[in-house]
Structure 1
Amino acid sequence: MKHVSILIPIGNTSLSNIEATYKMFTKINEARQKEGKLPLFKIQLVGLTNEIMLSNSMFSIKPDTTIQEVHQTDLIIIPAVHGDMSEILSLNSDFKDWIRKQYELGAEIASLCLGAFILASTGLLDGKNCTTHWLSADEFSSLFPKVNLAPYKIITDENGIYTSGGAYSSLNLILYLLEKYAGRDMAIQSSKIFEIDIERNSQLHFIIFQRQKEHEDTTIKRAQEFIENNFRNKITVDQLASVLCVGRRNLERRFKKATANTILEYIQRVKIEAAKISLESTNENVNEVMYNVGYSDTKSFRTTFKRITGISPVQYKNKYNRMQNV
């Protein structure tokens, strides 16, 4: 029987992560028992103390046990935590040595969404791939520069360490682990029970384009605004340089430094973000949307859209359009 330790960090911890994880592993045990088989998992809530206050003291959880009493486990699951990450990491620092020791003893470790911050604080992610919620990617990279962050991924799996992307994509990681431990049939059954897309592997199409203006280069901010106001028209680098009275090479260098995008990449991302909004909120077909955002080549539009969002324009419209049932 596999011992599963669901950690209960101190602070504003995701109750939904804890409950969903507990239920999904428990359902596997129940399904096996109905088939006359022994349960596969021993699931315990594990804390630093015998009672943990969560969400600014609105809720409390009484863990089944504490890390002092769990001498060996097979799988550690770290739920998402929210708030001031420096404070959260300080409050939960006693988890670090225990997690490292369990990993050395052979345990696997999975972080859900922002639980990656606690996992990364152990040092076990250094040099490894990791994902977390895309909104916290910059903060994560700043705190843990040795970790190879891939914020567009739903799941990473490396040397017995697993991470999941934003919000409810954590359910995809739990399914992934259930498939590993209980088999494909059980995972598919769970995906149907909990209505989870078992094949989902990217959170690119959930990323809202952030117009990177958190810099002090006023000329580049003007360039960004010009692109955003004129993206339906053809914009060249030479034209932009002329409008701003800046040399082309100087503009390209400063733009990349300020936004982390080339000028061409930025133009494409603005166009695709506009296309996404239209596909979500209007009855325009894909070709109409394509022309409205300034593309005339169907193949180029579809290729760029899929590269940035992870799915095709048609798939995006079918998945997110709010007008289809109106």
Structure 2
Amino acid sequence: MHTVAVLALPDTIAFDLSTPIELFGRVRLPGWRPGYRVLVCAAEPVVTAGPLRLATDHGLDALARADTIVVPGRNDPASPTPAAVLGALREAMARGTRIASICVGAFTLGAAGLLDGRRATTHWAATERFRTAFPAVELDPDVLYVDSGQIITSAGATAGIDMCLHLIRRDHGAAVAADAARLAVAPLHRDGGQAQFILRARLDSAAAGLGQLLEWIEENAYRDLSLDDLASRAAMSIRTLNRRFREETGQTPMQWLNGVRIRQAQELLETTDHGVDRIAHQVGFTSPTNFRAQFKRISGVAPQAYRTTFRG
């Protein structure tokens, strides 16, 4: 039987820890046979998980018996990882054991050196910290999970469910995975990635130096605005405006304008029954076709798929 070892680190995120325990632990094969043996192991017999204290039955030696190791995130991903844990993960990697991380659990894999030169993902909010800590990793913050074969990393929180269902499908096929998804009341596959969830947070976190202009753009995004219009409103040359936007937002003025329009479209898709073409014109796009292309580029999914995900 396939053995999954879930690694409980100090101050582990309880949700991340419970996700693989529940999903793998409830998988049933034909004849009602269990699909996995799930072990929870730790370097110490008792670990914290936010406000909880958890007793574990297995030590790090259980990792040597595992076919898959799952590493949940920690509330402070930058906290030092016990040397014994890092060593055990490196040994497991050398044995060919499959290793997966949930959310900021990628920091633990990064600290063990398992992600160098590989494509990986983590929670979008930890992107810059991760890139600073592990520059040798090819980080993709917009996807729900990355499967590079032996190493699998997933994004924040519920993306761990997507990853576990993906691994169940790898191990036992689509029918068993679909049954696990139904039991978890979760979709077997979700369209898009983290981008559809984080646009608003990215916009809201912009620097305040252009505050008045950004507020004006919010209020006037529905108009047919040009770069000249924005520069005139800011009382700057186009060159200066472009430089300021790059410095303070990391985008060009027109990229920012498109982002505002897409965010406003997201709100209309969530809160109204307006058709997609009508929403495109409401937020300032003269071409519904261009709107659909820009929406998918920025959000990662088509407008109707976004509405299906987020509408009530």
For the criterion TM > 0.5, the same-fold answer is yes
Task: Tell me the residue number matched to 1:25.
Answer: 24
Task: Tell me the residue number matched to 2:49.
Answer: 54
Of 146, 153, 168, 1:178 maps to 168
Q: Does the 8 A contact of 1:78 with 1:110 survive in 2?
A: yes
Task: Tell me the residue number matched to 1:73.
Answer: 66
Cα RMSD (Å): 2.2
- State the SS of the aligned residue for 2:216: helix
Quote the Cα distance in structure 1 between the aligned partners of 2:156 and 2:44.
28
Of 113, 116, 119, 1:123 maps to 113
Distance 1:173-1:289 versus aligned 2 partners, 3 A rule? same
Q: Deviations over 1:277-311 (max 9, x none)?
A: 11112233323322221122111111111221222
Quote the Cα distance in structure 2 between the aligned partners of 1:196 and 1:276.
23
Deviates more, 1:135-144 or 1:258-267: 135-144
Quote the Cα distance in structure 2 between the aligned partners of 1:23 and 1:297.
46
Q: Deviations over 1:178-225 (max 9, x none)?
A: 111122221121112212212225232222422265547x3x444433
Quote the Cα distance in structure 1 between the aligned partners of 2:263 and 2:159.
22
- State the SS of the aligned residue for 1:302: helix
Q: Does the 8 A contact of 1:227 with 1:235 survive in 2?
A: no
Deviates more, 1:122-131 or 1:16-25: 16-25
Is 1:150 the counterpart of 2:140? The answer is yes
Aligned ranges 1:77-96 → 2 under 5 Å:
77-82=70-75, 84-86=76-78, 89-90=79-80, 92-96=82-86
Q: Does the 8 A contact of 2:127 with 2:141 survive in 1?
A: yes
Deviates more, 1:96-105 or 1:254-263: 254-263
- State the SS of the aligned residue for 1:6: strand
Q: Does the 8 A contact of 1:175 with 1:190 survive in 2?
A: yes
Quote the Cα distance in structure 2 between the aligned partners of 1:300 and 1:128.
34
Q: Does the 8 A contact of 1:132 with 1:165 survive in 2?
A: yes
Q: Does the 8 A contact of 2:280 with 2:291 survive in 1?
A: yes
- State the SS of the aligned residue for 2:26: helix
- Aligned partner letter, 1:63: T
Is 1:205 the counterpart of 2:203? The answer is no
Distance 1:144-1:222 versus aligned 2 partners, 3 A rule? farther
Task: Tell me the residue number matched to 1:63.
Answer: 56
User: Once the two structures are aligned, what percentage of the paired residues are identical?
Assistant: 27
Q: Does the 8 A contact of 2:41 with 2:59 survive in 1?
A: yes
- Aligned partner letter, 1:76: I
Task: Tell me the residue number matched to 1:112.
Answer: 102
Q: Does the 8 A contact of 1:271 with 1:293 survive in 2?
A: yes
Task: Tell me the residue number matched to 1:291.
Answer: 281
Q: How far 1:162 sits from its partner (Å)?
A: 0.5
Q: Does the 8 A contact of 2:19 with 2:160 survive in 1?
A: no
Q: Deviations over 1:138-193 (max 9, x none)?
A: 33223323222211101101141101122112111001111111222211211122
Quote the Cα distance in structure 1 between the aligned partners of 2:175 and 2:16.
23
Distance 1:292-1:178 versus aligned 2 partners, 3 A rule? same
Gaps of 5+ in 2: none
Quote the Cα distance in structure 2 between the aligned partners of 1:69 and 1:170.
22
Q: Does the 8 A contact of 2:295 with 2:302 survive in 1?
A: yes
Quote the Cα distance in structure 2 between the aligned partners of 1:276 and 1:302.
12
Aligned ranges 1:155-234 → 2 under 5 Å:
155-201=145-191, 202-209=193-200, 210-211=202-203, 214-215=206-207, 218=209, 220-234=210-224
Quote the Cα distance in structure 1 between the aligned partners of 2:132 and 2:206.
15
Give the number of aligned pairs: 310
**TM-score, length basis structure 1:** 0.86
- Aligned partner letter, 1:211: L
Quote the Cα distance in structure 2 between the aligned partners of 1:253 and 1:154.
33
Q: How far 1:76 sits from its partner (Å)?
A: 0.9
Distance 1:212-1:138 versus aligned 2 partners, 3 A rule? farther
Is 1:235 the counterpart of 2:225? The answer is yes
Distance 1:239-1:93 versus aligned 2 partners, 3 A rule? farther
Quote the Cα distance in structure 2 between the aligned partners of 1:312 and 1:136.
26
**Structure 1 stretches of 4+ moved >4 Å:** 212-216
- State the SS of the aligned residue for 2:225: coil
Q: How far 1:18 sits from its partner (Å)?
A: 2.5
Task: Tell me the residue number matched to 2:292.
Answer: 302
Distance 1:176-1:43 versus aligned 2 partners, 3 A rule? same
Task: Tell me the residue number matched to 1:3.
Answer: 3
Task: Tell me the residue number matched to 1:278.
Answer: 268
